[in-house]
Amino acid sequence: MTTPTAPDAMYRNDEGLGVWEHRGKVAAVGVGHAPTSRRWDGRPETCVGAITIDALRKAIDDAGVAPDQIDGLVVVPVTTTGAFWEAGKPLPMDVIQSFNQTDDPLDGIAKLSAEWLLKNMPELTNVKFTMYGPGCMSNALNVTAQAVGDGLTHTCLVVKSWHNFEGRYYQGGANAGDALPGTPAITQLWGGPASYSTALQFAEYCRKYGKSHDMMAAFMENSRRNGLRFPEGYWAQHRPEELGPEDYLASRWIAKPANLFDNDIPIMMSGAYLFSTAERAADMKQKPVYILNHASSNTRPRSLLPTLDEVEADTARTGRKIYEGAGITADDLSFENMYDGFSLFHQFHLEGLGYRGIKFGEALDFYQTDISIEGPNPVSPSGGNVGSGRSRVWMHTDCIQQLQGRAGARQVTGVKPQVGVSGGPMPLGGNYTVWSASPD
């Protein structure tokens, strides 16, 4: 079976599309996470393919569905943003021989195909629909919701995984060479780190609105606090350390004004969900969480980096798309789980949503108020990548668990969990999902 990449037509990129045609008719039920680790230790049972199988099986168990009932699988094929298998590095043959390998020896080690998963999960005997949602879980969720709504699959798994190898992120390959080809040279010769673009938008934001980087400390402390209440996450599992203002503000700069903690920590992880039609979900083991809408942005900046004006125009547009398709307003949000890796753009998402009525330039002041899970205005109750490591998945898991009432120590208590929103990554170019405890 050849797995296609989701066509553009599956995304809701435009304003004016009206209420999503499948609003409330698609549901998330099961959640599965593999244990996290900082880096791969080279063993077959911890490679990215193996942890993905683990997460998928947990999601199936969690939903209480027989594996032969599953007829769809949506996969994010890319499992890193900056940890690459160096050219010429010997292949780990013991690992490769531990699995039913595809034609690509790095499948399951440095990338992931649907074919590899199906070859190594013999219990999935009835999968007839496979599709790639590139990049992030946020993207794959949009694809899954649309596919279930459109009837392409009725019981569908969706999975996003991350590998991480020895060595520093982004530092191999072209960055270690003496010359660059002419086209990448135009953008890469100057050596901006990954968080540089976000740092610049944040710097412009601070100049425009009279804010400062130290105002981020309240958000960071809250996010780590929530992350330490996320037993599936990296910090909770491996480094149960609070992140107080002193530690945050004393950390070294990466691309000032972005410091070390503003950059999420790369990890190995896998997160999976089981989606189904609302009808079928009613008979499954967990309470269904209904999808009210999915929305996307494919906006590109005019030139090298998005300006603050471009960011604000697009996050506002994204907010309008999110609400329009879900048939809700900002007042309906019980909480928000917009993306935070890098932390310095979370406020753009928040202001675009108009969460709790905040306007452009007000989010950092809002951070100084009660944004905890116990208060009336929870910000990032998942703790996001700040709280649990680089996955771009925690925000979605948290929305599902909050609305099912099984977020454990992270459960919001200052609001009744009825509607949540999650998604990202960047302020320009992202995918968003609106989740609800009720189908209408």
Partner 1 sequence: MAKQGVDPDELTQPFWDAANEQRLVIQNCVDCDRLQHPPSNTCRDCDEGGELEWKQVSGRGTIYNYGVVHDCPVRLLQEDQPFNLAVIMLDDDPGIQMYSHLPGVPVDEVPVGAAVEVIFEPSANGQLVPEWRVIAD
Which residues of the chain form contacts with partner 1 (CB under 8 A)? 169-171, 175-183, 185-194, 196, 199-200, 203-204, 207, 252-258, 300, 302-305, 307
Q: Which amino acid is at 374?
A: E
Inter-residue contact 294 to 434 (CB < 8 Å):
yes
Structure tokens that stand for 53 in this block: 């199988």
**Under a CB-based contact definition with an 8 Å cutoff, are residues 26 and 325 in contact?**
no
Q: Are 73 and 129 spatial neighbours (Cβ–Cβ below 8 Å)?
A: yes
CB crowding 197-220: b at 16 or more within 10 Å, else e = bbbbbbbebbeebebebeebbbbb
Residue pair 308/345 in contact by the 8 Å Cβ criterion: no
Which residue reads 């991350």 in tokens?
162
If the CB atoms of residues 41 and 309 are measured against partner 1, the closer one turns out to be: 309
Are the C-beta atoms of 422 and 398 separated by less than 8 Å?
yes
Q: Which is nearer to partner 1, 188 or 368 (CB)?
A: 188
Which CB, 213 or 356, lies closer to partner 1?
A: 213
The residue among 89 and 207 lying less far from partner 1, judged by its C-beta, is: 207
- Tell me 51's DSSP state: H
Shortest Å, Cβ 28 to partner 1? 36
How many alpha carbons fall within 13 Å on the CB side of residue 301?
A: 16
Residue closest to 123 by CA, chosen among 58, 57, 191: 57
Say which residue the tokens 């409330």 belong to.
24
Cα separation, 229 vs 98, in Å, equals: 35
Cβ proximity to partner 1, 122 vs 177, nearer residue: 177
Whole-number minimum distance, CB 81 to partner 1, in Å?
A: 12
What Cα–Cα distance (Å) separates residue 241 from each residue in 25, 225, 235, 259? 41, 9, 7, 18
Contact 427, 314 (CB under 8 A): yes
Rounded least distance, CB 183 to partner 1, Å: 5
Tokens linked to 209: 């609105």
**CA 202 from centroid of its chain's CA atoms:** 21
What φ, ψ does residue 240 adopt, rounded to 5°?
-70, 70
Q: CA 362 to CA 366: how far, in whole Å?
A: 6
Q: Which of 396, 368, 374 is nearest to 384 (CA)?
A: 396
Among residues 265 and 379, whose Cβ is nearest to partner 1? 265
From the CB of 214, what's the least distance to partner 1, in Å?
16
**Minimum CB–partner distance for residue 138 and partner 1 (Å):** 24
Give least dist CB 180 to partner 1, A.
Answer: 5
- Which residue, 302 or 416, is less far from partner 1 as judged by CB? 302
What is the distance between the alpha carbons of residues 121 and 139, in angstroms, rounded to a whole number? 24
Query: What token pair was written down for 322?
Result: 């999110």
CB of 196 to partner 1, least distance (A): 6
**Cβ-based nearer residue to partner 1, 117 or 344:** 344
Quickly count: other Cβ atoms within 10 Å of residue 78's Cβ. Answer: 16
Q: Min. distance of Cβ 82 from partner 1 in angstroms?
A: 8
Provide the minimum distance between the beta carbon of 161 and partner 1 in the complex, in angstroms, as a whole number: 23
CB nearer to partner 1: pick between 256 and 285: 256
Neighbours of 427 (CB within 10 A): 28
Nearer to partner 1, 151 or 173 (CB): 173
Give me the least distance between CB of 163 and partner 1, in Å please: 19
Min dist CB 301 to partner 1, Å, is 9
